[in-house]
Amino acid sequence: MGDAEDFVDDHGTDSFTMLWDESFETWIEIGITSQPSAVLLAADGTPITGWIGPFPEDEVLRLAAESTGA
């Protein structure tokens, strides 16, 4: 887990949840096919959208605000 641990050490995870699954079962379940990837989930776990490769922070923040009604 070296790279993932380095990321947490460098950036923290106060505003998001890190998922590390050595079996990759969760990757398959949510459709992750490569890195970097991101999936934005609603509070109930329903996928809102996802990105393969870099993702735009402004879009993530907008979608997160819309999903919470903020």
Q: Nearest 5 degrees, angle CA 16-CA 60-CA 19?
A: 30
What is the reported pTM? 0.57
Q: Summarize pLDDT for 5-63 with one digit per residue, the tens.
A: 777 777 776 766 667 788 889 888 878 888 788 888 888 888 888 888 888 888 888 88
Using the predicted structure, report yes or no on whether residue 1 has a pLDDT greater than 60. Answer: no
Q: How do the domains of the chain map onto residue ranges?
A: 22-70
Distance CA 27, CA 17 (A): 15
